Amino acid sequence: MANEDTLYKALQELKDGKRDIESVMALLANGYEDIGFAKVDTSRESRSGSPEVIFCEGKTDLQIKGIAQRMQANSSNILATRASKENYDAIRSVCPDARYNELARMVMIKNKDVEVPDPHIAIVTAGTSDLPVAEEAMETATMLGNRVEMYPDVGVAGLHRLLDNIDKIRCARVIIVVAGMEGALPSVVGGLVDKPVIAVPTSIGYGANFGGLSALLSMLNTCANGVAVVNIDNGFGAGCMASMINRLK
Amino acid sequence: MANEDTLYKALQELKDGKRDIESVMALLANGYEDIGFAKVDTSRESRSGSPEVIFCEGKTDLQIKGIAQRMQANSSNILATRASKENYDAIRSVCPDARYNELARMVMIKNKDVEVPDPHIAIVTAGTSDLPVAEEAMETATMLGNRVEMYPDVGVAGLHRLLDNIDKIRCARVIIVVAGMEGALPSVVGGLVDKPVIAVPTSIGYGANFGGLSALLSMLNTCANGVAVVNIDNGFGAGCMASMINRLK
Amino acid sequence: MANEDTLYKALQELKDGKRDIESVMALLANGYEDIGFAKVDTSRESRSGSPEVIFCEGKTDLQIKGIAQRMQANSSNILATRASKENYDAIRSVCPDARYNELARMVMIKNKDVEVPDPHIAIVTAGTSDLPVAEEAMETATMLGNRVEMYPDVGVAGLHRLLDNIDKIRCARVIIVVAGMEGALPSVVGGLVDKPVIAVPTSIGYGANFGGLSALLSMLNTCANGVAVVNIDNGFGAGCMASMINRLK
Amino acid sequence: MANEDTLYKALQELKDGKRDIESVMALLANGYEDIGFAKVDTSRESRSGSPEVIFCEGKTDLQIKGIAQRMQANSSNILATRASKENYDAIRSVCPDARYNELARMVMIKNKDVEVPDPHIAIVTAGTSDLPVAEEAMETATMLGNRVEMYPDVGVAGLHRLLDNIDKIRCARVIIVVAGMEGALPSVVGGLVDKPVIAVPTSIGYGANFGGLSALLSMLNTCANGVAVVNIDNGFGAGCMASMINRLK
Amino acid sequence: MANEDTLYKALQELKDGKRDIESVMALLANGYEDIGFAKVDTSRESRSGSPEVIFCEGKTDLQIKGIAQRMQANSSNILATRASKENYDAIRSVCPDARYNELARMVMIKNKDVEVPDPHIAIVTAGTSDLPVAEEAMETATMLGNRVEMYPDVGVAGLHRLLDNIDKIRCARVIIVVAGMEGALPSVVGGLVDKPVIAVPTSIGYGANFGGLSALLSMLNTCANGVAVVNIDNGFGAGCMASMINRLK
Amino acid sequence: MANEDTLYKALQELKDGKRDIESVMALLANGYEDIGFAKVDTSRESRSGSPEVIFCEGKTDLQIKGIAQRMQANSSNILATRASKENYDAIRSVCPDARYNELARMVMIKNKDVEVPDPHIAIVTAGTSDLPVAEEAMETATMLGNRVEMYPDVGVAGLHRLLDNIDKIRCARVIIVVAGMEGALPSVVGGLVDKPVIAVPTSIGYGANFGGLSALLSMLNTCANGVAVVNIDNGFGAGCMASMINRLK
Amino acid sequence: MANEDTLYKALQELKDGKRDIESVMALLANGYEDIGFAKVDTSRESRSGSPEVIFCEGKTDLQIKGIAQRMQANSSNILATRASKENYDAIRSVCPDARYNELARMVMIKNKDVEVPDPHIAIVTAGTSDLPVAEEAMETATMLGNRVEMYPDVGVAGLHRLLDNIDKIRCARVIIVVAGMEGALPSVVGGLVDKPVIAVPTSIGYGANFGGLSALLSMLNTCANGVAVVNIDNGFGAGCMASMINRLK
Amino acid sequence: MANEDTLYKALQELKDGKRDIESVMALLANGYEDIGFAKVDTSRESRSGSPEVIFCEGKTDLQIKGIAQRMQANSSNILATRASKENYDAIRSVCPDARYNELARMVMIKNKDVEVPDPHIAIVTAGTSDLPVAEEAMETATMLGNRVEMYPDVGVAGLHRLLDNIDKIRCARVIIVVAGMEGALPSVVGGLVDKPVIAVPTSIGYGANFGGLSALLSMLNTCANGVAVVNIDNGFGAGCMASMINRLK
């Protein structure tokens, strides 16, 4: 189930003595590689359109490093999310080209090129405090092969800032809207554009915000059409979904 | 503690044999009248600016009737909220002039005039389904001596409907904004006006609306300034608060 | 802001004496028509890609009828959601061609044709009990100009039913997955396809289902990529979002 | 959309070579200034009655500094909320006159005078532990041009402390009541005064307090009239709302 | 484990042929009687100070009747709570002396006298709508052998009604305070008396009341000392607890 | 994937002209039969140890009837849960031998014998009101081929009733404990026996019971070992789990 | 309203030049002393049976010190709850005799004797981890003039530990039961004794314990009679309530 | 009530002068040993099939050490859960052979052998981040005398990883499934095997995961049969339950 490139490279490594037969067998048979504490899903990209990603929370540095190493061996592009500085250092020890976006808490390693289609994705945020989540979405979408344009800080308390940019936002094929607090922005944007809107609630706020619940419920109950929601602070998920739509033929 | 009019009337009734001495004594001493299952707060108006109101839920028709009768005897203006048709019939049997607003589920009996100040209250709703709560606010504010203007169905999914009316809305001294679902409207209005906004979440919606919770949290977390919130579906409370502000000297 | 067809028709009606000048003026100026208790958003379709829809809950039959009548006058296609049998009768009295889907609780009136693109939408349900929500999505998507294929009852307790259909499901351009109870199906489908998945939690279940909360949280926390979520039981919203994506050029 | 003073000053700066034409154009056209990661809302004060405020949580020191610098350039009065000592230091590096209230976690910079009306605002707290939130309200209201009087520690467990001060409290035009734990104080105050009451729940308490939820629900369900609620610990919001009311003509 | 009276009566019935040996054996051995679908706890009174009570919800009329019949045979005083009119009729068919309190939804059958001590219990309610719960507490406490005095409708929105009665309330040995909505009354009473207060939240209210949750949390977070709380609408539980305390020697 | 008996019967029906080739093909290929609105999982029993079951909520009578008919054709034993009287009548029209347990709201149709092992299952309830859920567990376990013994009404308020029966309860191989309200019984039983305990919270109770949440949380947080929990009111699930364990070899 | 001893001492201090006239005036008039950030309630003990207590959370060391100093001046017994080591040091600087219980996080200063009645209070805990809350209750009750006996670690998973001690527990006049996790112990104890039970849920546990919510709901829904509940981890509140009951005449 | 080995050893210690008579008396009479702050349940193993375990959270090192010492004296196998490195050091000072599993946060001390039956337990995890909980289950089950096989990282986003291992998983007698995020894995496994499944939700995830609530609700609402659930992150509880089932005869 592994894609052709991965297979070819693995066989090459076998021939070069850098891999053993069992690991290739496993790759052929299963579409994943078993490294004890993890089963790296080598067929996810061909199957579901986006590569397996390392979710760092709850994993030890040793585990993260092991998974990154195996992905690196398969020449995959690698994304690690919720990555601390320590996680980054662990990854860099096996993937020296790894890049770190501190705001987004992500590690990116580009091992192969992805074709980038014409249409682009717009990422809109209600406030400056929502930027970390927006950056996570941006890095994800970019890595998956999309052009991205950012429109930060156009929240509903100063509507003219949004209205002033709406014509440019409308040009995107799909729009990610990131907002915390009352989470009203996706409803307003959704009412002004005829493009699918991915709404991302953030945990920005306090008190009856309840860790992003207020924005989440607000977005789920939107009266605008063409809006769907991902998890609180899930910039990564929004980036994947937007990429999936933006790259549709 | 009872106001002068009430006292005068009670003494008159005593003289006319329609009241006994004990009930007048109680009125003088306590600022309330004890009718067994209730203590009618005859001094609330002079003390807190709005008369006692009959909250009908959980009361029997007999109790409602008894309270209305006592208030009627004091020549108060009477408001009954959450009133069913049956509650209305009970009240009408002792207050024949009672008027019923079915949408708002309220009974109104006007026994004396209240001075109406110059400034007025605007009531804005997100959708047509929010009208019952808006009507409750309107009846309350009107009864308490205010002019009211209604702007229904200007929700954020069609922002131009709001923008088209915003100049008129701005002319009010205080603005009540009623919205269900995502409850985004008070944030948007709050960002466009320099008047206090009373936000009223409604239970209109379904699913993750959780009986109005989504709109409530949205409004509490508003990023706009000059917005405060009352209970879900509490048109009455919004009407009181708006009246309090509108009648400030 | 109204689209050309609507404008032409309105002017024709004016000429024919079926409309007065004021209503046309309003249409030209605002992109909506004010009928007292509602402001019918006549420009929503051109602005946001889907027409205004009548959400029946919380509206009186008179209000519903009034709104339908105004839309009918504009030759719009009309959708009414959460419509009871009584609501349907009210609408039919002004729109005799109205069709009712009892399972979906929707009313449909087709007043003009919409171009249907080549790609189609797949709607997948976990169980037979999820069908009403799936039907709502299907009617919505169909009305908005999409071909729809249904795959009911392929929930995860009998995985072979899904695996047996997955190749056909993959052919759609966008996939709606409807599930109650544990809401696991979108995660499983999301892991098997490279198309955007719109997840719809339903309130089917009992106990710790808490009215669909279990399925909702499950879907928001999916470990699969390319999944976004709409409100509980919101087949309409899923249909709109899927249509938006399916009709992208 | 910027107010006259701001415009004049910007033009002056242009003439003096301290600003470029583009930034003035933006100011004229949009009512905001785009500084990359933020769009400073220069017209908020004239539009909504209170200036834009820097909410520090979730922002980097660099971002906070940049926003403060731009506001400073516009001679606005500046408020920063939820500001740590580090945030304060960042602001002070560009606004040397900045003052810090550690209890309230706020930074204040006064760049111009605001007219102060005759009526004043009373701020009442249930306990000493509620003082940080009360201080936030006080600093906000003062900055917006209001006289404020404080009545700390008059909670319901010792009612005589409230009754002893109630006559003075009644003299204010609007009353802010700050309380944690059971949040009963606004109901009691609301029943004793004929002025609008802004209720602020605090997160003071433990256990079934659930971060201020108990006080919040208590206040939303008040049986007193003329009470509206802001978010948990939102002294800033209460200060804005009270100022809006206190400064009404 | 059964008390002496019960035993004597059972043996008498055995002698008279109205009971079989097995049932007496069971009574002697276990302290309960097994009637198939229920095990009537004949020793609860001697063990825990209050008799077993029939909680009617979720039981069929046949089951209720069977349990009542067995208790009647043991000459116990019988209380049935949450009893519908139908439940009452079922009980009356086997206990003709049964009395029904419709407001409290309770059935009472007095089969033996209980000594009544000197001190009494005060029951205080915030509003008239809280009376059903207060009546449940009153019937329970009376049945368990206590004198009860009622003080309805002294809620915090009209504090003078409470202050006017507080000296009489203080004379009780234990005080039950029943309140819905914001549930502030127990805190205020608790601050004014030096007697234990049993707080009973009711589900009276709407919106963010969430079925009594607001009053419950309010009471659990009370800043007054000497207050403990029972379940929402649990007048029965409050009556038991108060009786336990009032009858302490 | 269908088991042999089912296959043989289907082929027989084909030969007899009661089935068409396509339906047999489907049976062979898929392990399920597609009847349009449902995919009857004919291989679930062989795969997961318990047959597919008709969950009636959310299904129309027509759908229920259709599914039952198809199962009947496969000679499966049939269970329908959450079945109303109307659902039962629908099933009986195609399965005349169907039996209805009104308390448990279940329909049972026995079409073939299941071997019954020696060990048995004990079902223990806290109160008589928990019996409907216990009956659901009992009918389920019995249908799946187990002997069941019932111990109703041994809740913790009268511990001697439990202690008196504990030796008999210990003889079962697995124990189902059904309790509402505080849900304490599984913890107490779990501390007294060395057998696996399946805990079933019920929605019996009121107020802060929140539809069974109190019992559910109680059971999940048990300090006893060897206890696992199923959904609120899920007697069926408990019966399945207990059967799975009781029938282990 | 201050009690006689306090008054006498204050006058003495006045005479001795240690106090000014104004502070005595305030004491006489109000029953509290205003020290700026706090109003020390000097009449609480005579009014409500227990002295004012310093709740340290949310207060600065300076504030805590100031309040302690004022109480010390009034010769009150002083209790400070939720006190950190730093808070203790602050208090000790003005009250050198202060004692600290680290487990209970309390500071105690005994300035006068309280008469101790004959009956005693039993404090029972489910586990050893519940001891900090039990210690808080113990210190409180002891300070308020009660004898206390402790029965730690008798939770329901090992019922024999409870049964072995139940006869001694029964001898108390009132019983405090402290439990976390499933919170079942108060129900079991309540069923075995004929004394009032104060149930204290603790936050001990994890996962679906939700900070003590599971134990809280369990206790509120108890099927035992004579049980009332205080806030999660509120050993102080339980100690006050128990003292109030234990000291009843 | 202590088992024979424990008794024999205690008597031996008495004879050898290492124990006093009182401690043996207590052991004989109660089935527990009272060490002041704890009552070590020496009869739990014989009574309920698994030994008492030290839950370290909320206990001081001194308490933990004391309990371990007493258990050690009884030659029990000892498990300590939620143990920090410091707790481990405390235990090791009295039990030098103690082993620490840092991932699982557990301490294990084997003082006697337990017979290991033939069947084994399978532990399956959705992701690598779920390993700590799985390790807790593994250590528990191993200590209680079971063979365990681990299948990490086979979550539903890459279904082929599960399907590839399902035949081996099916060979176990009982299966523990550990999953965070959407918690879908137990439903999928439950539908594929005919063995009891113990589902363990983990707190892995973020946002609307709410500390494991999403996975917990998902598992409770499973549509698969033969699944029961333990508390969030409760690997220990799952290990006990699985051991109980696996060791059934």
What single DSSP character describes residue D110?
Answer: -
Q: Which residues of C touch F43 (CB under 8 A)?
A: 158, 160
Query: Does the beta carbon of E126 lie under 8 angstroms from any beta carbon of chain D?
Result: yes
Rounded CA separation A112/A75 (Å): 7
Q: Between G154, G158, G206, which is nearest H233 by CB?
A: G206
Highest average pLDDT, of B81-90, E24-33, F73-82, comes from B81-90
User: Percentage of residues in chain A with pLDDT exceeding 90?
Assistant: 71
Q: Which of F156, F202, F206 to mutate to test the interface with G (most CBs of G within 10 A)?
A: F156
Under an 8 A CB cutoff, do E191 and G44 touch?
yes
pLDDT at residue E5 above 70? Answer: no
The ipTM, to two decimals, is: 0.89
Rounded CA separation A186/A200 (Å): 9
Nearest CA in chain D to E191: D157
Mean pLDDT of the residues in chain H: 90
Q: What is the dihedral of CA C39, C42, C46, C52, to 10 degrees?
A: 60
Distance from CA of D110 to the nearest CA of G (A): 26
Query: Does the beta carbon of G89 lie under 8 angstroms from any beta carbon of chain H?
Result: no
Query: Does the beta carbon of D190 lie under 8 angstroms from any beta carbon of chain E?
Result: yes
Pairing of strands B147-151, D39-40: unpaired
Q: Which residues of C touch A248 (CB under 8 A)?
A: 173-174, 195-196, 245, 248
pLDDT digits (tens, 9 = 90+) for A55-85: 999 999 999 999 999 988 888 889 999 999 9
Distance from CA of H119 to the nearest CA of A (A): 23
| Of A186, A227, C59, C23, residue with least CA distance to B153 | C59
G13 or E91, greater pLDDT:
E91
For residue D242, name the pLDDT band (cuts at 50, 70, 90): very high
pLDDT at residue C92 above 90? Answer: yes
pLDDT at res. E23:
64
pLDDT at residue B47 above 60? Answer: yes
pLDDT digits (tens, 9 = 90+) for F9-52: 766 777 777 777 666 655 555 578 888 888 888 777 777 777 77
Query: Does the beta carbon of E104 lie under 8 angstroms from any beta carbon of chain G?
Result: no
Asked whether the beta carbons of D245 and D173 are under 8 A apart, the reply is yes
pLDDT at residue H1 above 70? Answer: no
> Which chains does chain E touch, 3 or more C-beta pairs < 8 A?
B, D, F, G
pLDDT at res. H26:
57
Rounded CA separation C189/C9 (Å): 45
Q: Between D153, D154, D208, which is nearest G232 by CB?
A: D208
Pairing of strands E39-40, E54-55: unpaired
Under an 8 A CB cutoff, do F231 and C206 touch?
yes
Q: Where are the alpha helices (DSSP H) in chain C?
A: 4-15, 21-30, 44-48, 61-73, 85-92, 131-143, 159-163, 166-170, 185-190, 213-220, 235-246
Rounded CA separation A118/A248 (Å): 11
Q: Which of B57, B189, B236, B245 to mutate to test the interface with D (most CBs of D within 10 A)?
A: B245
Distance of CA C38 to the CA centre of its chain: 21
Q: Which residues of H touch A179 (CB under 8 A)?
A: none
Q: What is the dihedral of CA F78, F83, F88, F90, to 10 degrees?
A: -90
Give the number of other Cβ atoms within 10 Å of residue E185's Cβ.
32
pLDDT digits (tens, 9 = 90+) for H149-188: 999 999 998 888 999 999 999 999 999 999 999 999 999 9
Strand partners, C147: C120
pLDDT at res. C4:
52
When mean pLDDT is compared across C14-28, D105-119, E112-126, the lowest value belongs to C14-28
Rounded to an integer, the average pLDDT of E49-63 is: 90
Long-range contact pairs involving B108-113 (C-beta distance under 8 Å, separation at least 24): B108/B77, B108/B78, B108/B79, B108/B139, B108/B143, B109/B68, B109/B72, B109/B77, B109/B78, B110/B77, B110/B143, B111/B72, B111/B75, B111/B76, B111/B77, B111/B78, B112/B5, B112/B75, B112/B76, B112/B77
Under an 8 A CB cutoff, do C57 and B153 touch?
no
| Of F6, F9, F82, F18, residue with least CA distance to F44 | F6
Give the number of other Cβ atoms within 10 Å of residue D243's Cβ.
28
Distance from CA of H188 to the nearest CA of G (A): 23
pLDDT digits (tens, 9 = 90+) for B186-224: 999 999 999 999 999 999 999 999 999 999 999 999 999
What single DSSP character describes residue B234?
Answer: -
Rounded to an integer, the average pLDDT of B61-81 is: 91
Query: Does the beta carbon of F48 lie under 8 angstroms from any beta carbon of chain H?
Result: yes
Asked whether the beta carbons of F223 and G182 are under 8 A apart, the reply is yes
Under an 8 A CB cutoff, do B214 and A217 touch?
yes
pLDDT at residue H116 above 90? Answer: yes
pLDDT at res. F2:
43
Rounded CA separation C208/D109 (Å): 52
Q: Which residues of D touch A209 (CB under 8 A)?
A: 231
What single DSSP character describes residue E17?
Answer: T
Q: Is B84 helix (H, G, I), strand (E, B) or coil?
A: coil
Counted residue by residue, chain H has a size of: 249
Residue B42 tokens, joined: 């005859």
pLDDT at res. D157:
87
B19 or C141, greater pLDDT:
C141
What single DSSP character describes residue B210?
Answer: G
pLDDT at res. H5:
60
For residue A103, name the pLDDT band (cuts at 50, 70, 90): very high
Rounded CA separation F6/H45 (Å): 47
Q: Which residues of D touch B216 (CB under 8 A)?
A: 220
Q: Is A197 helix (H, G, I), strand (E, B) or coil?
A: strand
pLDDT at residue B51 above 60? Answer: yes
Q: Which of A102, A169, A206 to mutate to test the interface with D (most CBs of D within 10 A)?
A: A206
Query: Does the beta carbon of H193 lie under 8 angstroms from any beta carbon of chain F?
Result: yes
User: Percentage of residues in chain H with pLDDT exceeding 90?
Assistant: 71
A100 or A15, greater pLDDT:
A100
Asked whether the beta carbons of F192 and H47 are under 8 A apart, the reply is yes
Rounded CA separation B207/B202 (Å): 14
In total, the C-beta contacts within 8 angstroms joining chain F to chain H are 115
Below-50 pLDDT ranges, chain F: 1-3
F27 or E235, greater pLDDT:
E235
H/E segment holding residue A194: none
Q: Between F160, F208, F210, which is nearest E1 by CB?
A: F160
Residue the block writes with tokens 């200036």 = D51
| Of C167, C157, C2, residue with least CA distance to C75 | C2
Distance from CA of C90 to the nearest CA of F (A): 25
Under an 8 A CB cutoff, do D221 and E205 touch?
yes
Under an 8 A CB cutoff, do C231 and A220 touch?
yes
Query: Does the beta carbon of E128 lie under 8 angstroms from any beta carbon of chain G?
Result: no
Residue F181 tokens, joined: 């309200």
User: Percentage of residues in chain E with pLDDT exceeding 90?
Assistant: 71
Under an 8 A CB cutoff, do B160 and C32 touch?
yes
When mean pLDDT is compared across B16-20, D166-170, E119-123, G106-110, the lowest value belongs to B16-20
Under an 8 A CB cutoff, do G55 and D209 touch?
no
| Of F21, A164, E218, residue with least CA distance to D27 | A164
Distance from CA of D157 to the nearest CA of G (A): 8
Which residues, including other chains, have CB under 8 Å from residue H18's CB and lie 6 or more apart? none
For residue B162, name the pLDDT band (cuts at 50, 70, 90): very high
Nearest CA in chain F to E200: F207
pLDDT at res. C19:
74
Query: Does the beta carbon of C32 lie under 8 angstroms from any beta carbon of chain B?
Result: yes
Residue C217 tokens, joined: 């949280």
Work out the angle at residue D54's Cα, subtended by the Cα atoms of residues D52 and D60, and round it to the nearest 5 degrees.
145
Rounded CA separation C199/C126 (Å): 11
Q: Where are the alpha helices (DSSP H) in chain D?
A: 4-15, 21-30, 44-48, 61-73, 85-94, 131-143, 159-163, 166-170, 185-190, 213-220, 235-246
pLDDT at res. D91:
96
Distance from CA of F133 to the nearest CA of E (A): 11
Per-residue CA distances from F61 to D156, F53, F236 (Å): 58, 15, 21
| Of H105, H86, H108, H106, residue with least CA distance to H97 | H108
Rounded CA separation A73/A165 (Å): 44
Dihedral-angle region of residue D124 (phi above 0 means left; psi in -120 to 50 means alpha; beta otherwise): beta
Nearest CA in chain G to H64: G128
pLDDT at res. G23:
64
Query: Does the beta carbon of B209 lie under 8 angstroms from any beta carbon of chain C?
Result: yes
- CB crowding E11-29: b at 16 or more within 10 Å, else e: eebeeeeebeeebbebbee
| Of E228, E103, E114, residue with least CA distance to E174 | E228
Q: Which of G101, G103, G128, G154 to mutate to test the interface with H (most CBs of H within 10 A)?
A: G128
Query: Does the beta carbon of A235 lie under 8 angstroms from any beta carbon of chain C?
Result: no
pLDDT at res. C18:
78
pLDDT digits (tens, 9 = 90+) for C29-86: 557 888 888 888 877 777 777 777 999 999 999 999 999 999 888 888 899 999 999 9
Under an 8 A CB cutoff, do B53 and D225 touch?
yes
pTM of the full predicted structure? 0.91
pLDDT at res. E64:
95
Mean pLDDT of the residues in chain F: 90
Rounded to an integer, the average pLDDT of D7-24 is: 68
Query: Does the beta carbon of D158 lie under 8 angstroms from any beta carbon of chain B?
Result: no
Asked whether the beta carbons of B124 and B176 are under 8 A apart, the reply is yes
Pairing of strands G120-125, G106-109: unpaired
pLDDT at residue H2 above 50? Answer: no
Nearest CA in chain B to C50: B157
Query: Does the beta carbon of G205 lie under 8 angstroms from any beta carbon of chain D?
Result: no
H234 or B46, greater pLDDT:
H234
Residue D247 tokens, joined: 């400064």
pLDDT at res. F1:
38
